[in-house]
Structure 1
Amino acid sequence: MKVFLIAGEPSGDRLGAALMAGLKTLVDDIEFLGVGGSAMTAEGLQSQFPMSELSIMGIAEVAPKYFHLKRRIRETAEAVIGANPDVLITIDSPDFCLRVARIVKEDEVEGLTFGHDIPTVHYVAPSVWAWRPKRAEKMAQWIDHVLALLPFEPPYMEAAGMSCDFVGHPVVAEPVASDAEAQAFRELHGVDDGPLILALPGSRKGEVTRLADRFGKSLGRVQHDHPSLKVALPVAQGVEGLVRDVTVNWPVRPILIPAEQADQKRVAFRAADVALAASGTVSLELAAAGTPMVIAYDMNWLSRLLIGRLLKVDTVTLVNLVSETRVVPEFLGRDCAPDLIAPALLSTLADPSAQKDAMALTMDRLGKRGEAPGLRAARSVLDVVTQRQAI
């Protein structure tokens, strides 16, 4: 069996590696081709070019490399067609991956290269349930099957004309620190009986810049009620200096955990009594650790205006969505303010029980007690290949 995979960023590389590992347990004779990073390379992929070429974001970053990326899209599509694999698997990074799939499918339709119809699988469904629902219909022109991370996504993909399987979220397979490790962390940093709050102001410079002052002031208000408060802040790669600068005047100086200390970050997630976090998949990481949270986020005024008009859901927190509750407080846009955030932190510290139940339900619904997501994804891919070969 010949499989062509494309990943464009580290999260996709990890998904691809788990999928490859799953395929290797199910198929004796398998060959991997495509584009990936170090995790996929470790599973046997020889990347066509460094994945880092695709790990760029934003107009300012993309514009200077536009023609180079366009050439890479064409080169990758030609490599797919030339290899004639049993399946093409594109992993997230839709701006690159779906353009490759489009060229492959259009060349097939026009008979420019050969007549074999390569089945196309896309790993990670677009969040059409939140905004821009037309993305799924557009994607269906070139994608046959979708591997979904969230249990409520398949109906949206099927309505657009693609088959779709929920395969579980990778967060359920990530290691979680033990209670003993968490207690040792608290003792090391002198937490004692006072609360430990985890501050997570984002991983990008813009997020940290916008949120840091509001996070600091919110924590200062909590300290008024809890004088022995401690704060831990795992620092994302690339924003170390900025985080040090913007937290120097916080009322509570945080315990900074460097990006390279992933094990300590994991322990801090488990050790904290509550987290104040920017919006995103971090809510699932916190749920996996059993740490209740308050979500706060803001963006520039134009993005706030546009996304506010397009948003189709009443919450952006994945724990709320997956558990079908609204127990995680969130303060977005103009509501991202210390006078609102601080009372929510205090209330959550006082009684986290509702969140604890919702987080446990979320992990169960994401596949915690089932097969590993990579193996479930592998089974789904094999079903697609088998069905296509039977036609």
Structure 2
Amino acid sequence: MHIFITAGEPSGDKLGAALMQGLRRRVPDVRFTGIGGERMIAEGLESLFPMDEISVMGITEILRQYGALKARIRETSEAVVAARPDALVTVDLPEFSLRVAKQVKAASDIRVVHYVAPTVWAWRPGRAAKMAAHVDQVLALLPFEPPYMEAAGMRCDFVGHPVVTEPQASPGEQAAFRARHRIGDAPMALVLPGSRRSEISRLGPVFREVAERVHAARPELQLVIPAATPVAPLVEELCADWPGNPLVLDPRSLGEEAAAEKRAAFGAADVALAASGTVALELAAAATPMVIGYDMGWLSRQIIGRLLLVDTVNLVNLVSETRTIPEFIGKDCRPEPIAEALLQVIDAPEAQSEAMALTMERLGRDGPHPGDRAAQAVLEGLGQD
């Protein structure tokens, strides 16, 4: 069996590697070619070119690199058609993946599987119908996504979310974190302003005022700010004069211990203030109650606000079918209500426990590994189950 598989960013590389492992357990002599990073290459992928050459995000960056990206799309689709694999599996990165899929389908009848369903349940539902013209099967991370894909004419399998496979800090590791940073039994709040410069620059002033208000009400509260490597200097600069002497976890100085330190912080925290995104699922996996805030540029806010189909974008709220997680998006992302909500969660953290546990259960915790489920779905789609 020959599978051509592509990924263009670290999260996709991780999903792709797990799928490759699952396929090899079922088909030991399976062969992989395509595009991937370190994890997929370690699983035996022969990569056409470095993955980071197609890892672009945002309209401005895509336009700036459009010529190079277009050439890589053409090169990849031609390689797929020439190789005649049993299936093409594209992992996330729709700007690249779906253009490759379109060109492959125009020149062949190769089966196309796309891993990670687009958020058609949130906005632009017409994307599903456009995908169906050149995608045969979708592997979904969220349990409510298959009906949207199936209605457009594609097979769709819910395979579980990778967050359920992430290790969690033990009580001993959490206690050691508190002792190491001299937090002791004091209440502790995570502040997670995002992983991109634009997010941090926009949310920083709002989160700072929230910190000031909460510190005035609870001066004993210790703020801990885990920073992503690319934006660590910006985060340190941002919170240098915040009240309460916040602790910044800088992965550059932590080295190989960075991931364990972040896990311990997530587990040890009593509450978190976070930018909207998949970090909400990481917090739910650690059973850390949260308040979510997010804003965007004026134009994006106007466009997305008009297209949005749901009344919440928080995945814990959506998966658990509750509205337990306080969420302040767009024009509602203001310090006063966010600080008030954070104080309320500190006083009654157990209110979110059931929704977080239900979310993890519905995403596949304690079930088969998502990589195995994805592999089984691909093989079933090929009629080799």
Q: Paired residue for 2:122?
A: 130
CA shift for structure 1 position 253 = 2.7
Tell me the residue number matched to 1:240.
Answer: 232
Moved more, 185-194 or 128-137: 185-194
Asked if the contact 1:3/1:30 (under 8 Å) is kept, the reply is: yes
Aligned partners of 2:236 and 2:248: how far apart in 1? 8
TM-fit CA distance, 1:219? 1.6
Deviating more after overlay: 240-249 vs 11-20? 240-249
Q: Deviations over 1:345-375 (max 9, x none)?
A: 1111111112111000000000002100000
Q: Percent identity?
A: 60
Counterpart for residue 219 of structure 2: 227
1:112 is matched with which residue?
Answer: none
SS of residue matched to 1:238: helix
Match of 1:205 among 197, 205, 230: 197
Query: Are 1:177 and 2:169 matched, yes or no?
Result: yes
Structure 1 residue 169, shift from structure 2 partner = 0.2
Aligned amino acid, residue 383 of structure 2: T
Cα deviation for residue 217 of structure 1 reads: 1.4
Q: In 1, Cα distance between the equivalents of 2:286 and 2:185?
A: 20
1:220 counterpart SS class: helix
Could you tell me how far apart the structure 1 residues matched to 2:313 and 2:62 are? 27
- Which residue type is aligned with residue 295 of structure 2? D
Distance 2:122 2:380 in 1: 29
Matched, 1:373 2:370: yes
Contact 1:297 1:332 (C-alpha < 8 Å) held by counterparts:
yes
Is residue 316–residue 325 contact of structure 2 (8 Å, CA) maintained in 1?
yes
Tell me which residue corresponds to 2:289.
Answer: 292
Cα deviation for residue 127 of structure 1 reads 0.5
Matched, 1:349 2:350: no
Aligned residue in 2 for 1:326: 323
> Within 2, Cα distance between the matches of 1:46 and 1:149?
26
Contact 1:195 1:226 in 2 (8 A): no
**1:191, 1:229 within 8 Å by CA — same for their partners in 2?**
no
- Please give the alpha-carbon distance, in whole angstroms, between the structure 1 residues aligned to 2:245 and 2:144: 40
Q: Secondary structure at the match of 1:126?
A: coil
Partners in 2 of 1:373 and 1:327 — Cα distance? 26
Q: Distance in 2 between matches of 1:252 and 1:312?
A: 40
* Structure 2: runs of 5 or more not aligned: none
Which residue of structure 2 aligns with residue 113 of structure 1?
none
Amino acid at match of 1:155: P
Give structure 1 regions of 4+ aligned residues with deviation exceeding 4 angstroms.
none
Report the equivalent of 1:279.
276
- RMSD, aligned α-carbons: 1.2
**Per the alignment, in what secondary structure is the counterpart of residue 383 of structure 2?**
helix
Aligned-pair distance for 1:241? 1.5
CA distance in 2, matches of 1:216, 1:346: 15
What residue in structure 2 maps to residue 340 of structure 1? Answer: 337
Distance 1:52 1:252 in 2: 39
Are the aligned partners of 1:7 and 1:90 in contact in 2 as well (CA < 8 Å)? yes
Q: For the Cα contact (< 8 Å) 2:188–2:224, is it kept in 1?
A: yes
Which aligned pairs between 1:65-214 and structure 2 lie closer than 5 A? 65-108=65-108, 117-214=109-206
- The aligned counterpart of 2:17 is 17
Preserved CA contact (<8 Å) 2:36 2:45: yes
SS in 1 for 2:114: strand
Aligned amino acid, residue 169 of structure 1: H
Structure 1 gap segments, 5+ residues each: 109-116
The reply to whether residue 384 of structure 1 matches residue 381 of structure 2 is yes
Question: Which amino acid in 1 is paired with 2:173?
Answer: E
1:46-73 per-position Cα deviation (integer Å, ceiling 9, x unaligned): 2100001011222332333221111111
Which position in structure 2 is the counterpart of 1:308? 305
Does the aligned pair in 2 maintain the 1:274–1:292 contact within 8 Å? yes
Q: Is the 8 A contact 2:9 2:52 kept in 1?
A: yes
Q: How far does the alpha carbon of each residue in 1:200-258 deviate from its partner, in whole angstroms, 9 at most, with x for none?
A: 00011111011112112112211222211111111112112211111112113321112
Matched residues in 2 for 1:230 and 1:73: separation?
48
What SS does the aligned partner of 2:160 have? coil
Contact (CA 8 Å) 2:132, 2:152: kept in 1 or not? Answer: yes
- Matched residue, 2:27: 27
Specify the SS of the correspondent of 1:386: coil
Could you list the per-position Cα deviations for residues 291-345 of structure 1 after superposition, in whole angstroms to 9, with x for gaps in the alignment? 0000001111111111111100000100000000001000111211111011111
- How far 1:95 moved relative to its partner? 0.8
- The alpha carbon displacement at 1:42 in A equals 0.7
Answer whether contact 2:54 2:72 (CA < 8 A) is retained.
Answer: no
Give the alignment's TM-score, normalised by structure 1: 0.95
Alignment partner, residue 57 of structure 1: 57
The residue type paired with residue 328 of structure 2 is F
1-structure distance, mates of 2:57, 2:328: 25
Task: Judge which range, 66-75 or 195-204, deviates more.
Answer: 66-75
Equivalent position amino acid for 2:161 in 1: H
Q: Tell me, what secondary structure is at the counterpart of 2:46?
A: coil
Q: What one-letter code is carried by the residue in structure 2 that aligns with 1:23?
A: L
Contact preservation (8 Å) 1:217, 1:251: no
- 2: CA distance between counterparts of 1:67 and 1:248? 41
Cα distance, 1:196 vs. partner? 0.5
Query: Post-superposition shift, 1:190?
Result: 2.1
